[in-house]
């Protein structure tokens, strides 16, 4: 497995969200350099655990069981073919864009080593999200 990008984003007001506060954190962008990782915190008040990343609609996102969203580059490539246009890493609001990891086939309890110090484990699988 190769980590292609770590993607972070700040909350942003948009007209298309169903969030009552009118903001979304889906607009993530790849960042350069190390990112501080911490425990996300409890559901409802916790974030992603990645410094510099905002989580909105905390009733549904963030916290210890839904902290980091990963998408495989291979899946983005499939969507590029389907849509007929290029998709950058972070296009689906994911925190991690991977290569050579079957994210869609992930199993609950799987552990992923990211670099020498960080191990993430799959606690929950999800489908596409709305914003």
| pTM score | 0.78
Give the pLDDT confidence score for residue 86 in this predicted structure: 97
Query: pLDDT (tens digit, 9 = 90+) per residue, 8-21?
Result: 988 887 777 676 67
Domain that holds residue 76: 2-121
Give the pLDDT confidence score for residue 73 in this predicted structure: 97
Instruction: Please give the Cα distance from 51 to 68 (Å, whole number).
Output: 12
Q: Helix, strand, or coil here: 122?
A: coil
Asked, for residue 84, whether it belongs to a domain, the answer is: yes
Asked, for residue 76, whether it belongs to a domain, the answer is: yes
Q: What residues contact 39, with CB distance under 8 A and at least 6 apart?
A: 46, 49, 64
Asked, for residue 130, whether it belongs to a domain, the answer is: no
Asked, for residue 65, whether it belongs to a domain, the answer is: yes
Asked, for residue 129, whether it belongs to a domain, the answer is: no
Total domains in the chain come to 1
Instruction: Please give the Cα distance from 69 to 97 (Å, whole number).
Output: 9
Asked, for residue 11, whether it belongs to a domain, the answer is: yes
Give the pLDDT confidence score for residue 131 in this predicted structure: 46
Positions in the chain short of pLDDT 50: 131
Asked, for residue 126, whether it belongs to a domain, the answer is: no
Query: pLDDT (tens digit, 9 = 90+) per residue, 104-126?
Result: 888 888 887 776 766 666 665 55
Give the pLDDT confidence score for residue 91 in this predicted structure: 93
Residue 115, classified by CB atoms within 10 Å of its CB into exposed (0-12), middle (13-18) or buried (19+), is exposed
């Amino acid at each position: 497995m190769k980590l292609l990008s770590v993607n972070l984003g700040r909350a942003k007001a948009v007209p298309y969200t169903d969030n009552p506060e009118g903001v979304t954190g889906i607009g993530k962008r790849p960042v350069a350099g190390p990112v501080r990782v911490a425990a996300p915190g409890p559901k409802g008040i916790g974030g992603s655990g990645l410094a510099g990343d905002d989580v909105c609609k905390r009733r549904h996102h963030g916290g210890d069981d839904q902290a980091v969203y990963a998408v495989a580059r291979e899946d983005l490539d499939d969507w590029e073919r389907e849509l007929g246009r290029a998709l950058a890493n972070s296009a689906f609001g994911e925190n991690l864009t991977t290569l050579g990891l079957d994210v869609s086939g992930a199993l609950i309890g799987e552990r992923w080593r990211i670099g020498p110090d960080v191990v993430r484990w799959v606690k929950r699988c999800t489908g596409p999200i709305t914003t």
